[in-house]
A and B are shown apart, each in its own frame.
Chain A
Amino acid sequence: MIFNYIGNYSLIISVIISLTIFFLSISNLQKINIKKKINLNKLNFFQFFFVLVSFFSLVVLFVLSEFSNITVFNNSHTTKPLFYKISGTWGNHEGSLLLWLLILTLSLFIYFLSSKSRPIKERLLTLIFQEVIIIGFLIFIIKTSNPFNQIFPIPKEGLGLNPILQDPILAIHPPVLYLGYVSTSIIFSSSLASLVQGNVNNLWAKHIKKWIFASWIFLTIGILLGSIWAYYELGWGGFWFWDPVENISLMPWLSLTALLHCILVLEKRSLLSSWTIILSISTFTLSVCGTFLVRSGILNSVHTFANDPERGLFILIFLFILVFLSLVIYFLFEKNLKTNNNKFNLLTKESSILINNWFIMYFLSVILIGTIYPIFLEVLSDQKISVGPPFFNKLLIPFLIPFLIFMSIGPNLNWIKNKIFENKIQLIIFFILNLILSFFIIKIFGRITLTFTILLAASFYLFYITFKDLIKKDYKNISQAISHFGFSLLILSILMNSILSKEIIANLKVGEEIKFMESTIKFKKVENSSRSNFKSLVGFFEINNKDDKKFLFKPEIRIYNQPQVITSEADIKTNFFKDKFFVINLVKGENYFNIRYQEKPLMIWIWLSTILIAIGGSVSFFKRYEK
């Protein structure tokens, strides 16, 4: 159909425009010609425009169920609801790459419009570096992952009707996540450009700060959406599995968080410039590295796109070219970085941000090494091992304790110099109260180790400190107060949730009942019904509390016939104190069902606190005045 051709040729036009921008920028570097500068704005727009046309064509093809297009054929179906037909556009390898490209070109367009305060040479260099990335992706898409390949004869029906993928949260999770990942490309390009020009100073920091905050906010929300989806849809009440694909999204987030703190130092005190550049390079590198690991088929995960190693090879080469170029540029131009030898003492904000970076880099290295080590071991010694949650827990949790303590102290220190603690006595008293409270909790609930006790104490302490800062109403630092409070709430919620969660797993027949702590779970009945594309089996369960309050749960089993998939829809009752989570499963060949009931305290606070972290960042992003 015509949109196949529109989509395809738009991409090719984009390549031509990108190459034009690239060479135009290079030639402009030699001699500044104002007339050509205006053209660059227009060219940027058209580069974005034609990618948008291409993307839009793919959406149209999905909506119209045009199965002459192989991508649509593989990933869509006529009976899919409209919303999911649209979101199916980016739910596959080729379409999601087109989304990458769309955001890449959009970011560049916005960048060039909004960077008028920057020296023209820096802007041109940013353009050049970004174009290298864009052209690389364009070639990758056109040569190996073209979404507009056609198939003949035209099939009557598509293959893509996996019900697990038809979920609203899963539909918006990729775009939000990509807005985070891909916009770090501008930070990357701008950092390299600024380095070459010797502009890595507080003015550049002020300019790039908005980009860093924007990327960070989107990445935070994107990861949150993924966890929420896993919790509600994957059936067993977990929200983080240390799965390779989850780790891959967490690594750029950690690097970006460290970068965010560094850019504030660079803006206020003109320090930590080399850290800033290195982190900018590493954040985007980790994003592309993540793309490689997920799409090349090198890792074993539930999330990976089905792929072939040829694509993997291309991304690998592209990734290493990027890294190589940035390394070369860094080493060539490092002397441009003015190492400011202003002295700062131990007890200052600068040093606490340095310590913050140290810990974040450690966490990042644990996750990176844990994720790619099995690959290395297999190549080097043909041994296959698995690295999963126990590894990450053992290496991360103990180090979280000093991190939380530093986080309680650091943000309240002054720049340059700090007097010894005010209110020392108040803090010590609270710390002791804290330990008592934690021991008290341990006594009731019994099963926690020393590490957890101290960790709990540290989290409470941080919670108290950040809460105190929040209600102090210091508008100068309100965004820091909100985000840090959100973070402490997150850690506390996760800890309490993992300590206090309880579950029961049992096999029950209709009419049977089972005791769970001080309640009884009664399996009342099963209702069968038929829907448009699945058969539904709903189990009715009544749980009686000791106060004789009754709760009715209706978890569902769905049996789809096209494709043959059985899914479990949990019944989740949420309130501010805890989530009650009920799941039912078929047992093959038996007349009983496998049921799982969990009580998970503070679950909703895990989501709310992450949103709070993002809100803190947004406040900073929208702040207009500077002191």
Chain B
Amino acid sequence: MKIIKFLPIIFLYFSLFPSFSNEKNSQLENKIFKNLRCIICQGQSIYDSQSDFAESMKLVVKQKLESGMSEDEIYIFFKDQYGEWISYDPEFNTNTYFLWGLPVLIFLLGGAIILRKLAVLKN
């Protein structure tokens, strides 16, 4: 099969990429930065924003990571200080049942309609 010819090429391609070194810390940092909003440049995360406030927030995140706080604890801290708005990831609580549930409901509804339509036609 042709695909077997492709496999060695794909393998070679990937070996061009060096493996991960321990950048786990900076990856976690960046992940948190991308998840928090900047209050000064309100359309951007603190990762993207170049405002002073974003820089200070990044420092605080780094300090808290170094002091041993987990990712979730950091989000809780910031939400405590600035409100839920500061995090891009909405929680799953009474306020957001519809947010998370409605799309899934629509999906299931769509599936049910299709199944019914195909079942009807089968008969």
Q: Chain A interface (Cβ within 8 Å of chain B)? A: 234-236, 238, 241, 243, 300-303, 343-346, 351, 354-355, 358, 361-362, 365-366, 369-370, 373, 377, 381, 383-391, 395, 399, 426, 429-430, 433, 437, 441, 444-447, 464, 468, 500, 502-505, 517-518, 568, 577, 585, 587-588, 601
Lowest 5 CB-CB distances: which A-B pairs, in order? A388-B88, A302-B43, A390-B89, A358-B110, A366-B103
Cβ–Cβ contact A395 & B84, under 8 A: no
Cβ–Cβ contact A386 & B37, under 8 A: yes
Measured between beta carbons, the chain B residues less than 8 angstroms from A601 are 17
Cβ–Cβ contact A426 & B1, under 8 A: yes
Q: Chain B interface (Cβ within 8 Å of chain A)? A: 1-3, 7, 10, 13-14, 16-21, 23-24, 26-27, 30, 34-35, 37, 41-45, 47-48, 50, 52, 55, 83-90, 95-96, 98-100, 102-104, 106-107, 110-111, 114, 117-118, 121-122
Q: How close is B40's CB to chain A, nearest CB, in angstroms?
A: 12
Cβ–Cβ contact A365 & B103, under 8 A: yes
User: What CA separation (Å) do A343 and B35 show in the bound complex?
Assistant: 49
Measured between beta carbons, the chain B residues less than 8 angstroms from A395 are 100, 103-104
Q: Given A369-B103, A444-B14 in contact, is the A389-B7 Cβ separation under 8 Å?
A: no
Cβ–Cβ contact A517 & B18, under 8 A: yes
Measured between beta carbons, the chain B residues less than 8 angstroms from A426 are 1
Given A373-B99, A377-B96, A445-B20, 19 additional A-B pairs, CB 8 A:
A234-B48, A236-B48, A238-B48, A346-B122, A370-B99, A383-B95, A385-B90, A386-B88, A388-B45, A388-B88, A389-B35, A390-B89, A399-B107, A441-B14, A445-B19, A468-B2, A502-B23, A504-B26, A517-B18
Measured between beta carbons, the chain B residues less than 8 angstroms from A517 are 18, 21
Measured between beta carbons, the chain B residues less than 8 angstroms from A518 are 18
Cβ–Cβ contact A344 & B121, under 8 A: yes
* Cβ 8 A contact of B3, one of A236, A351, A464: A464
Measured between beta carbons, the chain B residues less than 8 angstroms from A238 are 48
Can you list 24 A-B pairs with a CB-CB distance of less than 8 A?
A: A241-B48, A301-B43, A345-B121, A351-B114, A365-B102, A365-B103, A365-B106, A366-B103, A369-B99, A369-B103, A373-B96, A373-B99, A384-B84, A386-B85, A386-B86, A386-B87, A387-B90, A387-B99, A388-B88, A389-B34, A447-B24, A577-B13, A587-B55, A601-B17
Cβ–Cβ contact A361 & B48, under 8 A: no
User: Which of A373, A429, A433 neighbours the largest number of chain B CB atoms within 10 Å of its CB?
Assistant: A373
Cβ–Cβ contact B114 & A358, under 8 A: yes
Cβ–Cβ contact B103 & A362, under 8 A: yes
Q: Given A302-B43, A370-B99, A384-B83 in contact, is the A437-B7 Cβ separation under 8 Å?
A: yes
User: Residue of A at shortest CB range from B6?
Assistant: A464
Measured between beta carbons, the chain B residues less than 8 angstroms from A354 are 114, 117
Cβ–Cβ contact A433 & B16, under 8 A: no
User: Residue of B at shortest CB range from A238?
Assistant: B48
User: What CA separation (Å) do A474 and B117 show in the bound complex?
Assistant: 32
* Cβ 8 A contact of A588, one of B1, B45, B52: B52
Q: How close is B34's CB to chain A, nearest CB, in angstroms?
A: 7
Cβ–Cβ contact B85 & A385, under 8 A: yes
User: What CA separation (Å) do A373 and B7 show in the bound complex?
Assistant: 46
Cβ–Cβ contact A386 & B84, under 8 A: yes
User: What CA separation (Å) do A391 and B84 show in the bound complex?
Assistant: 14
Cβ–Cβ contact B121 & A343, under 8 A: yes
Measured between beta carbons, the chain A residues less than 8 angstroms from B24 are 447
* Cβ 8 A contact of A437, one of B10, B27, B100: B10
Measured between beta carbons, the chain B residues less than 8 angstroms from A346 are 118, 122
* Cβ 8 A contact of B41, one of A302, A343, A446: A302
* Cβ 8 A contact of A388, one of B52, B89, B110: B89
Q: How close is B80's CB to chain A, nearest CB, in angstroms?
A: 15
User: What CA separation (Å) do A446 and B17 show in the bound complex?
Assistant: 13
* Cβ 8 A contact of A300, one of B43, B86, B98, B103: B43
Q: How close is B115's CB to chain A, nearest CB, in angstroms?
A: 10
User: Residue of B at shortest CB range from A585?
Assistant: B50
Cβ–Cβ contact B95 & A385, under 8 A: yes
User: What CA separation (Å) do A349 and B95 show in the bound complex?
Assistant: 41
Cβ–Cβ contact A351 & B96, under 8 A: no
Measured between beta carbons, the chain A residues less than 8 angstroms from B43 are 243, 300-303
Cβ–Cβ contact A384 & B85, under 8 A: yes
Q: How close is A232's CB to chain B, nearest CB, in angstroms?
A: 15
User: What CA separation (Å) do A5 and B16 show in the bound complex?
Assistant: 64
Q: How close is B45's CB to chain A, nearest CB, in angstroms?
A: 8
Cβ–Cβ contact A387 & B21, under 8 A: no
User: What CA separation (Å) do A179 and B55 show in the bound complex?
Assistant: 40
Cβ–Cβ contact A381 & B16, under 8 A: no
User: What CA separation (Å) do A577 and B9 show in the bound complex?
Assistant: 13
User: What CA separation (Å) do A444 and B111 show in the bound complex?
Assistant: 38
Q: How close is A272's CB to chain B, nearest CB, in angstroms?
A: 11
Cβ–Cβ contact A390 & B88, under 8 A: yes
Q: How close is A108's CB to chain B, nearest CB, in angstroms?
A: 34
Cβ–Cβ contact B42 & A387, under 8 A: no
User: What CA separation (Å) do A139 and B1 show in the bound complex?
Assistant: 64
User: Residue of B at shortest CB range from A343?
Assistant: B121
Q: Given A464-B3, A601-B17 in contact, is the A302-B90 Cβ separation under 8 Å?
A: no
Q: Given A384-B83, A389-B34, A505-B26 in contact, is the A361-B88 Cβ separation under 8 Å?
A: no
User: What CA separation (Å) do A392 and B121 show in the bound complex?
Assistant: 35
Measured between beta carbons, the chain A residues less than 8 angstroms from B52 are 588
Q: Given A236-B47, A358-B111, A399-B107 in contact, is the A385-B96 Cβ separation under 8 Å?
A: yes
User: Which of B14, B35, B104, B111 neighbours the largest number of chain A CB atoms within 10 Å of its CB?
Assistant: B14
Cβ–Cβ contact A430 & B7, under 8 A: no
Q: How close is A463's CB to chain B, nearest CB, in angstroms?
A: 10
User: Residue of B at shortest CB range from A388?
Assistant: B88
User: Residue of B at shortest CB range from A588?
Assistant: B52
Q: How close is A435's CB to chain B, nearest CB, in angstroms?
A: 13
User: What CA separation (Å) do A291 and B106 show in the bound complex?
Assistant: 25
User: What CA separation (Å) do A382 and B23 show in the bound complex?
Assistant: 41
Q: How close is A558's CB to chain B, nearest CB, in angstroms?
A: 13
User: What CA separation (Å) do A302 and B45 show in the bound complex?
Assistant: 11
Measured between beta carbons, the chain A residues less than 8 angstroms from B121 are 343-345
Q: How close is A506's CB to chain B, nearest CB, in angstroms?
A: 9
* Cβ 8 A contact of B35, one of A302, A383, A390, A441: A390
User: What CA separation (Å) do A445 and B43 show in the bound complex?
Assistant: 32
Cβ–Cβ contact B98 & A391, under 8 A: no
Q: How close is B96's CB to chain A, nearest CB, in angstroms?
A: 7
